[in-house]
């Protein structure tokens, strides 16, 4: 129903008054009371103006007190709006009213707004109340998590850590990861302890947090976390965190050296578990250990060495892999080494330039003895985004056994417009072959779009 002209005029006058465009004589109320009146009103536009004044104008604790006194009189949706504005306002004198409403409101949206505001205005004393909201469904759970990440003031990290020492494992795990979000390095000793907790969920969260915050001093504890982890996903994730600290952490060289010393001193059973991260960390020191294992007459130790070298993080090991592959007689060992070469050659940070990567991939292709491995080489090739790579892949479009992986790589290389436009005729001829060959609907769509000079948005998920 349309608003009357008089109502519109009243709104204009009220809003102008709130914004300070009219003198106080135009209205009988003071500015704060006018804002309070608009907040309680039904007009959304007027409320939006009033909420902006709560956030950014009409400063001072007396005004805050009048805004908070209005809260019990409002319906839940309006309460949530005002609480959000009070949080943005930044006046801690609103805390008492917000804490009270968090504990008393039956409305999830209101409690969510309260949690958000506590994160912006509160401190260590509010951590226990916010933690309670973590286990709640959306929107409270996410609001509580965000509040714990941003809540400031002395002792907040310690309060979150204290909460993480007891309670349900899922909540404890969430709190440990929140400490990493907050960059609370002072809690690293406790994270190390949690990495060998009796609960898998807690251990996994502690190791993830250590992977983000840890350094060389935490490596011994992280090694124990890897050894404690249950084989499978937990151990894989724990290993990944340890490798991150030793290869990309704040003092990665020292961390890698610390791990190498621990590996050397470890018992054989522990070394069997740690051999995988040893290979993934790499480096000259690790290479010396791995070569010793590969050359050991004990077949089991040789297998440990091969396992490590095939997990190497870069192409510095490629010559050794080629050497081993040339001498390999066991089919399983040969497949293992070949797979490592296929993986390593096109890595984005593998110490080789693009031409060297392609040379290694072509050499690897020449060593393949079946089309399954050749297909893997072709599919990996598109990570090397050069016209030389395209010219290596394109001829395989005419090979029925390898045409489909060649189609995938040609289309993926065509995705890069600068490369495609600089070699338009070659790409168009290859894309015509893709269209005549593949039955994959997505590849067809992409090939058609690239031929027309259009882009294609990669589907998420």
Q: What is the DSSP string of 148-184?
A: HHH--STTHHHHHHHHHTSS-HHHHHHHHHHHHHTT-
pLDDT for 19 beyond 90 = no
Mean pLDDT of the chain: 91
**Cα torsion angle, 414, 418, 421, 423, sign:** negative
- Count CB neighbours of 139 within 10 A: 17
- Residue 29 pLDDT grade (very low, low, confident, very high; cuts 50, 70, 90): low
- Same domain, yes or no: 391 and 461: yes
**CA nearest neighbour of 139 among 157, 119, 115:** 115
CB–CB of 156/124 below 8 Å?
yes
- Same domain, yes or no: 373 and 391: no
- Same domain, yes or no: 390 and 459: yes
Identify the pLDDT of residue 181.
Answer: 97
Q: What stretch of H or E contains 22?
A: none
Q: Is residue 250 part of a domain?
A: no
Last residue of a domain, one of 384, 403, 424: 384
Identify the pLDDT of residue 8.
Answer: 44
Tokens of 191: 């994270």
Last residue of a domain, one of 384, 407, 435: 384
- Same domain, yes or no: 420 and 444: yes
Tokens of 437: 């060959």
- Same domain, yes or no: 418 and 444: yes
- Same domain, yes or no: 319 and 380: yes
CB–CB of 434/447 below 8 Å?
yes
CB–CB of 246/259 below 8 Å?
yes
What is the C-alpha to C-alpha distance for residues 234 and 244, in angstroms, rounded to an integer?
15
Structural domain of 402? 385-461
Q: Is residue 216 part of a domain?
A: no
Identify the pLDDT of residue 13.
Answer: 43
pLDDT for 380 beyond 70 = yes
CB–CB of 127/156 below 8 Å?
yes
pLDDT for 33 beyond 90 = no
Identify the pLDDT of residue 57.
Answer: 80
pLDDT for 28 beyond 50 = no
- Same domain, yes or no: 320 and 391: no
Q: What is the pTM of this model?
A: 0.82
Q: Is residue 364 part of a domain?
A: yes
Q: Is residue 356 part of a domain?
A: yes
DSSP designation for 195: T
In terms of residues, how long is the chain? 461
Q: For residue 59, count CB atoms less than 10 angstroms from its CB and return exposed for 0-12, middle for 13-18, buried for 19 or more.
A: exposed
Tokens of 116: 């958000």
If one counts the domains in the chain, the total is 2
pLDDT for 11 beyond 70 = no
User: pLDDT, tens digit, for every residue of 406-418?
Assistant: 999 999 999 999 9
- Residue 30 pLDDT grade (very low, low, confident, very high; cuts 50, 70, 90): confident
- Same domain, yes or no: 341 and 398: no
CB–CB of 208/177 below 8 Å?
yes
Q: Is residue 167 part of a domain?
A: no
pLDDT for 171 beyond 60 = yes
Q: Is residue 426 part of a domain?
A: yes
Identify the pLDDT of residue 14.
Answer: 52
pLDDT for 101 beyond 90 = yes
- Same domain, yes or no: 374 and 399: no
Last residue of a domain, one of 384, 414, 429: 384
Q: Provide mean pLDDT across the span 140-148.
A: 97
Tokens of 345: 């050659």
| Three-class SS state of 423 | coil
| Three-class SS state of 64 | helix
User: pLDDT, tens digit, for every residue of 334-379?
Assistant: 999 999 999 999 988 767 899 999 999 999 999 999 999 999 999 9
Identify the pLDDT of residue 362.
Answer: 96
What is the C-alpha to C-alpha distance for residues 289 and 299, in angstroms, rounded to an integer?
16
Identify the pLDDT of residue 259.
Answer: 98
pLDDT for 6 beyond 90 = no
Q: Is residue 425 part of a domain?
A: yes
- Residue 195 pLDDT grade (very low, low, confident, very high; cuts 50, 70, 90): very high
- Same domain, yes or no: 443 and 399: yes
DSSP designation for 395: G
Identify the pLDDT of residue 1.
Answer: 44
- Same domain, yes or no: 389 and 455: yes
- Residue 95 pLDDT grade (very low, low, confident, very high; cuts 50, 70, 90): very high
Q: What share of the chain in percent tops pLDDT 90? A: 84
- Same domain, yes or no: 451 and 389: yes
Q: Is residue 175 part of a domain?
A: no
**Cα torsion angle, 322, 326, 330, 332, sign:** positive
Could you give the angle at which helices 299-309 and 268-281 cross, rounded to 10 degrees? 30
């Amino acid at each position: 129903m349309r608003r009357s002209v008089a109502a519109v005029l009243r709104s204009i006058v009220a809003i102008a008054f709130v914004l300070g465009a009219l003198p106080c004589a135009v209205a009988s109320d003071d500015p704060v009371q006018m804002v309070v009146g608009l907040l309680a009103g039904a007009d959304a536009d007027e409320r939006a103006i009033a909420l902006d004044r709560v956030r950014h104008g009409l400063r001072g604790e007396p005004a805050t007190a009048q805004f908070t006194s209005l809260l019990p009189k409002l319906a839940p949706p309006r309460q949530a709006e005002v609480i959000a504005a009070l949080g943005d306002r930044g006046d801690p004198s609103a805390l008492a009213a917000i804490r009270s409403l968090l504990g008393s409101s039956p409305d999830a949206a209101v409690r969510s707004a309260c949690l958000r505001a506590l994160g912006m205005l509160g401190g260590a004393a509010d951590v226990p109340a916010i933690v309670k909201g973590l286990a709640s469904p959306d929107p409270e759970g996410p609001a509580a998590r965000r509040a714990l990440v941003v809540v400031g003031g002395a002792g907040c990290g310690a309060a979150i850590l204290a909460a993480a020492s007891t309670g349900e494992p899922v909540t404890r795990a969430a709190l440990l990861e929140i400490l990493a979000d907050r960059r609370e390095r002072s809690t690293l000793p406790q994270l190390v302890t949690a990495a060998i907790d009796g609960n898998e969920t807690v251990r996994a969260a502690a190791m993830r947090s250590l992977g983000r915050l840890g350094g060389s001093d935490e490596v011994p504890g992280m090694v124990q976390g890897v050894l404690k982890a249950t084989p499978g996903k937990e151990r894989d994730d724990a290993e990944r965190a340890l490798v991150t600290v030793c290869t990309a952490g704040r003092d990665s060289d020292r961390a890698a050296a610390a791990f190498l010393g621990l590996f050397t001193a470890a018992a054989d059973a522990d070394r069997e578990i740690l051999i995988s991260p040893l290979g993934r960390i790499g480096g000259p020191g690790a290479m010396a250990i791995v070569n010793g294992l590969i050359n050991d007459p004990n077949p089991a130790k040789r297998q440990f060495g091969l396992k490590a070298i095939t997990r190497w993080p870069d192409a510095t090991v490629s010559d050794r892999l080629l050497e081993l592959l040339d001498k390999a007689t066991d089919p399983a060992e040969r497949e293992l080494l070949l797979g490592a070469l296929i993986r390593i050659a096109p890595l984005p940070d593998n110490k080789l330039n693009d031409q060297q990567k392609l040379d290694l991939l072509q050499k690897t292709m020449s060593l393949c003895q079946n089309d399954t491995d050749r297909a893997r080489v072709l599919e990996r090739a598109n990570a090397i985004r050069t016209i030389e790579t395209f010219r290596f892949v394109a001829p395989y479009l005419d090979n029925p056994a390898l045409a489909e992986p060649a189609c995938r790589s040609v289309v993926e290389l065509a995705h890069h417009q600068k490369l495609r436009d600089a070699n338009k005729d070659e790409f168009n001829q290859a894309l015509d072959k893709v269209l005549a060959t593949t039955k994959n609907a997505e590849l067809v769509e992409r090939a058609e779009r690239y031929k027309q000079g259009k882009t294609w948005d990669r589907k998420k998920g």
